[in-house]
């Protein structure tokens, strides 16, 4: 039996034509993958994402007229089913946090574009988080530093329920509240309640800390391009 090719509709947003052309070349080699549109700034990316409903948006973080972070937030609001891969030259921990908080599932350094972009789109289109290798290493190293310095005595006996573990895993994967609600068959309000209880019970204060917790307890493993 012939394996059915997965159809994938992609929007590319970057203010440099040469970069867009390079991305098109990388994606064109994948059977069933189609670039359905291009955008030269953040506002245009949001408008085209809303109109074209692509499966994945590849989005440069530094663009005029709405930067990549603002565009990511708006795209996630207007088309929650669309996954976002952010392209950037920045490898700072602060930028990683901001991108994940904005709702992107993929984080690819422009220096890794040729080797990691196709893998990123593949994972993100399946609803999985993808961090370019250097970023994945940085997240894990950050977790180790936090693990060595954070006093967990007040929460050492706290144990999430099975449902809370499911919510933690999906949040760590970058899923929005609406997507989690659909996947678990519960209301968005219930997801928000679970999230608040998890943060309080485990003494967590941000999504980054939740991801570190999920890694430490083997609830979630960040994907990278080393396989």
What are the residue boundaries of the structural domains of the chain, listed by start?
8-131, 139-216
Choose among 147, 126, 144: nearest CA to 136. 144
Per-residue pLDDT band for 44 (boundaries 50, 70, 90) equals: very high
Please say if the pLDDT value at position 96 is more than 70: yes
Its pTM stands at: 0.65
Distance CA(225)–CA(227), nearest Å, equals: 6
Same fold, 8-131 and 139-216: yes
pLDDT of residue 43: 95
pLDDT of residue 224: 58
Distance CA(95)–CA(101), nearest Å, equals: 10
Q: Which of 7-11, 46-50, 104-108 has the lowest mean pLDDT?
A: 104-108
Please say if the pLDDT value at position 153 is more than 90: no
Please say if the pLDDT value at position 37 is more than 90: yes
Distance CA(119)–CA(226), nearest Å, equals: 10
Strands 8-13 and 56-60, sheet pairing? parallel
Burial-class residue 73 by CB neighbours within 10 Å (0-12, 13-18, 19+): middle
pLDDT of residue 154: 45
Per-residue pLDDT band for 132 (boundaries 50, 70, 90) equals: confident
- Distances in whole angstroms, Cα of residue 155 to Cα of each of 32, 64, 122, 158, 192: 48, 44, 37, 5, 21
Q: Which of 28-37, 147-156, 164-173, 185-194 has the lowest mean pLDDT?
A: 147-156
CATH 3.40.50.2300 fits 8-131, yes or no: yes
pLDDT of residue 140: 60
User: Comparing 98 with 33, which gets the higher pLDDT?
Assistant: 33
Please say if the pLDDT value at position 189 is more than 90: no
CATH among 3.20.20.150, 3.40.50.2300, 3.55.40.20, 3.30.300.10 for 139-216: 3.40.50.2300
């Amino acid at each position: 039996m012939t394996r059915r090719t997965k159809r994938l509709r992609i929007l590319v947003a970057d203010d440099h034509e040469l970069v867009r052309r390079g991305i098109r070349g990388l994606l064109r080699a994948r059977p069933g993958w189609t670039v359905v549109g291009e955008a030269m700034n953040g506002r245009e990316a949001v408008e085209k994402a809303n109109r074209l409903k692509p499966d994945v948006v590849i989005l440069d973080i530094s663009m005029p007229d709405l930067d990549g972070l603002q565009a990511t937030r708006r795209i996630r609001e207007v088309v929650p089913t669309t996954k976002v891969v952010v392209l950037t030259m920045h490898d700072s921990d602060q930028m990683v946090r901001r991108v994940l908080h904005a709702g992107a599932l993929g984080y690819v350094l422009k220096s890794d574009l040729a080797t990691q972009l196709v893998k990123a789109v593949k994972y993100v289109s399946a609803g999985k988080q993808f961090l370019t290798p250097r970023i994945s290493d940085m997240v894990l190293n950050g977790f180790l530093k936090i693990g060595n310095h954070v006093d967990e005595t007040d929460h050492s006996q706290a144990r999430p329920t099975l449902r809370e573990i499911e919510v933690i895993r999906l949040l760590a994967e970058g899923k929005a509240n609406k997507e989690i609600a659909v996947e678990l068959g519960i209301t968005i309000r219930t997801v928000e309640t679970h999230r608040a209880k998890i943060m309080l019970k485990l003494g967590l204060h941000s999504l980054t800390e939740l991801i570190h917790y999920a890694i430490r307890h083997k609830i979630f493993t960040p994907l990278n391009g080393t396989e």
